[in-house]
Structure 1
């Protein structure tokens, strides 16, 4: 997420949520401290699976560290995304923070010397043994800030991936079959459009729109294509068959009314709320929405992997990183360790997250089991394709603005791909 997670949502991010802040501990690069507080940042919403798990982790941390207090204040994903380099270069740096993974985010901070090398701690505490190869990719960065090898600068204690969310009640109301193939998906969108319903919830102002387009491209791609784009293992051509299909199909979906032109200015939160309100029958986004949808959807709903594609957006979750200026690194390591424990991992799984080291027998919620099983399907076929904004610094903003132009019709697919090629080539390492 945006990651945009995205992720996103959401982020998202790409992701939209709240950020928890806290105050500090005992000496390292950042100066003196009272050893009584841990300054912690994270941006998971309190209703999300991660938010619930980290709340329990904070309680356990304080129970096992008498006299130490975790303090926090709320901020947002976008705020941290834009200000982290400046904050981490100041006296206001936290002891521990959640940060977006990828070359353009955590990789860039590691290259700038703003993050602590966690390699020794990883070996000491055995964190690496809990992480599969695909999830581990985003934890390590080389001297150029490229993920996949080198030193450990972050620890993900959950995973994430994208999926299609369906409002089954809306499908039933309009007599439309919930799709299981890509052809059935387009048939369903045609049927909804004919009935005056915009099929897809979308957000052009944040990560969601670019992730639709990237997923379309991924349906024509394979691992070597992803590795060229994300890890620079070869030259990326934005006018190849996959990128061209993605851009042309996305633009065609806008013209057909599957995606509303008015969504160009919408944020991920707007799209998520629209889906919760029953305005759109389909939303494509990440597992970070799962817990919230489970809590707030007032209708029957289901999920599936993107039909007709072996690859989908996803990775290890956002990272716990320890800023170079952290004043209390040992307490930061202790907190990470608690979030990797079985009880916290099991809670995360039952709340609708994707844990990295839960006990499968402890996941009792049927929807949660399905969520984790689908992730395992993607992971087992080496189908995690990361996120489109990761490869180069600043690429997220380029993708947002250029994809908005596709939605409004102010650019064409060929010019869109030209703009992406220019920005990518300017930021990628020279080969």
Structure 2
């Protein structure tokens, strides 16, 4: 069968313009034998590789055609409400999980409830309870309860990447405690090396801040912060420790003040190039590091002394309420949950949620999946710091930029962030 791929920003923007103007992009959307699919994973990523095979399997088994349009994350994020509320909505798309994203769309009636389909296909049996949290949303769009509105088929989490060669040259070892971690960073700083590759303009520093809070937290703190079970104390031990530690690490030279203007790509490239020996970031970098790091040996470890870490089920397949071919969408989701597709994802640097471990043969991938399983076994998946409100991603980044710049003190940043967080939560739950 024909397998079409629409590539390039210009093509994607043109398609989006057609959708938003109400014009037809063709007759495919009304064809009962065509599945219109959008996602934003690169063709060489673990998900891109696995889903490309899933598309081929789907076409072979169903006789249907997949019309795949590659969108950027920002294209989907910024236009989702308009696109999914139009007659040109795709049949299935990858969408970000969390209250501010999938939760918001579910509360607006733009996503199809999937409870009966999940039960029919048995997807709930394949997903650990902590991974189901981000697939379910109540009437207010708050995750953790209510109906299924998406199905994740991969996991993700944040961990420490380190340059093994640089560690050996500096005479340091993988730290087992937070104090040892600080000793390692001090050793590099004393040698004139800024140890942490960081970005405050985008997500990396926010995730480190959250991780530091989690080292002092328990599951109830996570539930309060993410699920609004109780008010969050923005001057409490958890958040105060995180904010003050970021300030201390900047003052000690472990984090560069230049990070205030750097993006995630800048931080990742700093690690890839060997300029910074440590990078705390997500499993989504794993495959890229495998392919691009050729000048040194590298490895990973979970953040020292932390039983809770940022992470979640991955982004989800969602089916728009206005999708024309929902049954085809459900069949495609089921194929992506099969052991052979999950193994393909796992052997290419992804984190499968339903793979047979015996099918994972790549040694680097085994290390990645072992870290994820260890975190999952501790019930350590704690979601991400920006999830609670639609605007908190930008607000958190802005606050941490001021912290790194020294234009605001930790107490001032916490007061600012606390007010923004509380206002955003109030808008959601009333």
TM-score, L = length of structure 1:
0.90
List per-residue Cα deviations over 1:379-413 (Å, max 9, x = no partner).
11111111011112211111111111112111111
Q: Which residue of 2 aligns with 1:147?
A: 143
Q: Is the CA contact 1:20–1:41 (under 8 Å) kept in the aligned structure 2?
A: no
- Does residue 216 (structure 1) correspond to residue 212 (structure 2)? The answer is yes
Residue 291 of structure 1: which of 287, 292, 296 is its match? 287
Q: What are the equivalent positions in structure 2 for 1:337-348 lying under 5 Å apart? A: 337-348=334-345
Q: What are the equivalent positions in structure 2 for 1:130-145 lying under 5 Å apart? A: 130-145=126-141
Task: Give the Cα–Cα distance (whole angstroms) in 2 for the partners of residues 406 and 101 of structure 1.
Answer: 28
Q: Is the CA contact 2:155–2:352 (under 8 Å) kept in the aligned structure 1?
A: yes
- Does residue 325 (structure 1) correspond to residue 308 (structure 2)? The answer is no
Q: Which residue of 2 aligns with 1:4?
A: none
List per-residue Cα deviations over 1:97-135 (Å, max 9, x = no partner).
111111111111101111111111111111111000010
Q: Which residue of 1 aligns with 2:120?
A: 124
Q: Which residue of 1 aligns with 2:265?
A: 269
Task: Give the Cα–Cα distance (whole angstroms) in 2 for the partners of residues 164 and 229 of structure 1.
Answer: 23
Q: Which runs of 5+ in 2 are unaligned?
A: 1-7, 20-26
Deviation beyond 3 Å, 4+ runs, structure 1? 17-24
Q: Which residue of 2 aligns with 1:384?
A: 381
Q: Which residue of 2 aligns with 1:198?
A: 194
List per-residue Cα deviations over 1:222-257 (Å, max 9, x = no partner).
001101111111111111100000001011111211
Task: Give the Cα–Cα distance (whole angstroms) in 1 for the partners of residues 326 and 55 of structure 2.
Answer: 16
Task: Give the Cα–Cα distance (whole angstroms) in 2 for the partners of residues 253 and 362 of structure 1.
Answer: 41
Residue 172 of structure 2: which of 169, 176, 193 is its match? 176
- Does residue 90 (structure 1) correspond to residue 70 (structure 2)? The answer is no
Report the number of matched residues. 409
Shift of the alpha carbon at 1:31?
11
Shift of the alpha carbon at 1:195?
1.4
Say if 1:323 and 1:311 are closer, same or farther in 2 by CA, change over 3 A: same
Task: Give the Cα–Cα distance (whole angstroms) in 2 for the partners of residues 95 and 261 of structure 1.
Answer: 45
List per-residue Cα deviations over 1:204-225 (Å, max 9, x = no partner).
1211110010001000000011
Residue 51 of structure 1: which of 48, 52, 59 is its match? 48
Q: Which residue of 2 aligns with 1:311?
A: 308
Q: What are the equivalent positions in structure 2 for 1:57-68 lying under 5 Å apart? A: 57-68=54-65
Shift of the alpha carbon at 1:303?
0.5
Q: Is the CA contact 1:18–1:44 (under 8 Å) kept in the aligned structure 2?
A: no
List per-residue Cα deviations over 1:257-286 (Å, max 9, x = no partner).
111111212211221111111111000011
How well do the aligned residues superpose, as a CA RMSD in angstroms? 2.3
Task: Give the Cα–Cα distance (whole angstroms) in 1 for the partners of residues 342 and 228 of structure 2.
Answer: 33
Task: Give the Cα–Cα distance (whole angstroms) in 2 for the partners of residues 388 and 216 of structure 1.
Answer: 11
Task: Give the Cα–Cα distance (whole angstroms) in 1 for the partners of residues 379 and 64 of structure 2.
Answer: 45
Quick check: which one's helix share is greater?
Answer: 2
Partner-residue secondary structure (3-state), 1:38: strand
Q: Is the CA contact 1:193–1:199 (under 8 Å) kept in the aligned structure 2?
A: yes
Q: Is the CA contact 1:205–1:264 (under 8 Å) kept in the aligned structure 2?
A: yes
Q: Is the CA contact 2:28–2:34 (under 8 Å) kept in the aligned structure 1?
A: no
Larger of the two Rg values belongs to structure: 2
Q: Which runs of 5+ in 1 are unaligned?
A: 1-16, 25-29
Task: Give the Cα–Cα distance (whole angstroms) in 1 for the partners of residues 9 and 314 of structure 2.
Answer: 16
Partner-residue secondary structure (3-state), 2:152: coil
